[in-house]
Structure 1
Amino acid sequence: MSSTSLHGSCFCKKIQLELSGEPHAIALCHCTDCRKISGSVFTLNFIVSTTDLKISGSSPAENPKTSDSGKKYINYFCKDCGSPLYGGAVDESGKLQTAVVRAGCFDDLEVLKGKKPSVEIYTAQRMEWISPVEGAAQFEGMLPAR
C-alpha cells in the first residue's frame, strides 16, 4: 500500500472511513461469522492499527460477541444500510486493539489491485472449490497470538 490514504464508506455513504499507513496483513477469512456478516463465503480484510483508521459521519452501530479465543469482539456496521465496515477484539477496558477493515467498503476498488492476501484464516471452513491463495500463510483457525 502506498503512503496515500484509502477512503471507504458504507452503502448509504452516511459513514466514511480513512485508512492510512500499512496494514499488518491482508487476510482472507473463511469463518462462519464473516460469512454471516458479509453474505458471502469469505471476506477480504485489511488488518490495521486503530491509529491508522479514522471514522467520520454517523457513528457505526456495534454488534459484540465472544470470539473463539474467549475475547470480546465487536463488529461495526452502518445502522441505516447495514454495511459491515470493520471489527476487532477489545481489551478489558473496551478499547479496540486492532481494526479488521472490510475491503469491500473501499470506494475505489482499484486500490485492491496487486493487494494479494498474505494470510488465510479458518481454512478448515474454506469451501472445497476455493483454492488456497498461493504464497499466503494458511491457518485452520484464527491467527496465532503475537
Structure 2
Amino acid sequence: MRIDGQCHCGTVTYEAEIEPEDVSICHCTDCQRLTGSAFRVTVSTPADQFRLTGKPPKRYEKRADNGARRLQFFCGDCGSPIYTTGEGKDAETVGIRWGSINQRSQLKPKHKIWCRSAVDWLSGIPNLPGRPGD
C-alpha cells in the first residue's frame, strides 16, 4: 500500500510503500515517555521503501536496555514524531509513526508488543463517557 505523511506543521513529509499487516502497538515505557501517551502505534517497512520528501527531521538517539541505539526522528519545528530506525541490521527497517500517516484510518494494529508495560486502565476506555467534539 502506498502512503504519505507529514508532521503536524507540514514541514517534514514522506512517502512509503507498506504492508497494512505490519501495524503494531508498543506498550514499552520508552514509547510511553516518547509519546506522552499510554502506547505508540507504528507501521514497519523496509528502509528502501521509505523516502523523505520535505525538510529533513531532527534526530534523537536513545540507547536501549540491550545497548542498541534507536534513532528517533521528529520535526524540529512542531516536535511531531515521524519515524524510528536503528543501526546495522536494525537500519534495514523504518518504523513510521501511525499518527503522521495521512491514510491512518485505513491502518489498524494487528499485534502488540511489550504488553507487560501496558497500563491497566486501557480496557475501561470503551466505558468512559464521551462526545463527538469539544
Asked if these proteins are the same fold (TM beyond 0.5), I'd say yes
Name the CA distance, whole Å, in 2 between partners of 1:49 and 1:23: 13
2:14 to 14, 17, 21: 17
When normalised by structure 1's length, the TM-score is 0.76
Higher relative contact order (CA 8 A, sep 6+): 2
Q: Which amino acid aligns with 1:107?
A: N
1:104 to 91, 99, 102: 99
Structure 1 residue 107, shift from structure 2 partner: 1.9
Tell me if structure 1 keeps the 8 A contact 2:12–2:75.
Answer: yes
- Aligned residue number for residue 121 of structure 1: 113
Please list every run of 5 or more consecutive structure 2 residues that lacks an aligned counterpart in the other structure.
124-134
When normalised by structure 2's length, the TM-score is 0.82
Please list every run of 5 or more consecutive structure 1 residues that lacks an aligned counterpart in the other structure.
132-146
Structure 1 residue 47, shift from structure 2 partner: 1.1
Q: Which amino acid aligns with 1:79?
A: G
Matched position secondary structure for 1:80: coil
- Aligned residue number for residue 84 of structure 2: 87
Tell me if structure 2 keeps the 8 A contact 1:50–1:99.
Answer: yes
Matched position secondary structure for 1:57: coil
Structure 1 residue 84, shift from structure 2 partner: 0.3
Greater helix percent: which structure? 2
